[in-house]
A = this chain, B = another copy of it.
């Protein structure tokens, strides 16, 4: 019955509200539904708090909400989420390219700046570093007018034994993991080949450049791959 309630147009969003929309976007991959508990977990707040906020966002026409059945972004909610995502990723790219900010810390800094930076600033940043299409971790940057590349990739954990691929993206939140990946030189753009995978979620052996190395599956799940011409298919 209910859904978007009042639909009040374009007020400016608070920082928490932007964070909710980003989280909901991430959970639903842009269009799918998001569960209260999952939102709560992503934002590290209590599920009860989510109920309240979700109601407010629905009142502003940003979410479609049915009690006890999670939320989806409305068109305007999706636009707001992508605006924030663009800010975040442009800022990350700018910090990294223009200020030599270390790879593993740009995410944290961008998390705070994305709520304060104006569109004008973000556009100037993007222009200054040549309108980047991805952030330093390989995540695609939404355009000004709200479109994104939503291609889905396999994770390194899913890549078949014997297959090769190019790293397109790594998860950006954990600095420690990022430092480790950099150390292994598992970075966007690098070519990797899966050599073997031990059973029962065991380690995955792969080659990167001329190195051979072995990583656990939960690390591998954080590395997204564009497969190359293949002789294995699907899962190994």
Contact = CB atoms under 8 A, between A and B. Distances in A.
Interface of A: 95, 98-101, 105, 109, 112-113, 115-118, 120-121, 124-125, 128
User: Which 9 residue pairs are nearest across A and B when measured between Cβ atoms?
Assistant: A116-B116, A112-B116, A99-B124, A113-B116, A109-B121, A109-B118, A99-B128, A113-B117, A101-B124
Query: Taking the full assembly, how many copies of this chain does it contain?
Result: 2
A101 B116 contact: no
A116 B99 CA distance: 17
Contacts of A98: 98, 128
A95 B125 CA distance: 10
23 contacts: A95-B121, A98-B98, A98-B128, A99-B121, A99-B124, A99-B125, A99-B128, A100-B124, A101-B124, A105-B120, A109-B117, A109-B118, A109-B120, A109-B121, A112-B116, A112-B117, A112-B118, A113-B113, A113-B116, A113-B117, A113-B121, A115-B116, A116-B116
Nearest to A101: B124
A128 B101 CA distance: 11
> Taking each of A95, A105, A109, A115, which has the highest tally of chain B beta carbons within 10 Å of its own beta carbon?
A109
A218 to B, nearest CB: 29
Contacts of A120: 105, 109
A125 B115 CA distance: 19
A84 to B, nearest CB: 14
Contacts of A128: 98-99
A99 B128 CA distance: 7
A125 B113 CA distance: 14
A112 B128 CA distance: 21
Contacts of A121: 95, 99, 101, 109, 113
> Taking each of A100, A116, A124, A128, which has the highest tally of chain B beta carbons within 10 Å of its own beta carbon?
A116
Contacts of A112: 116-118
A28 to B, nearest CB: 27
Contacts of A95: 121
A112 B118 CA distance: 9
Nearest to A121: B109
> Taking each of A115, A118, A125, which has the highest tally of chain B beta carbons within 10 Å of its own beta carbon?
A118
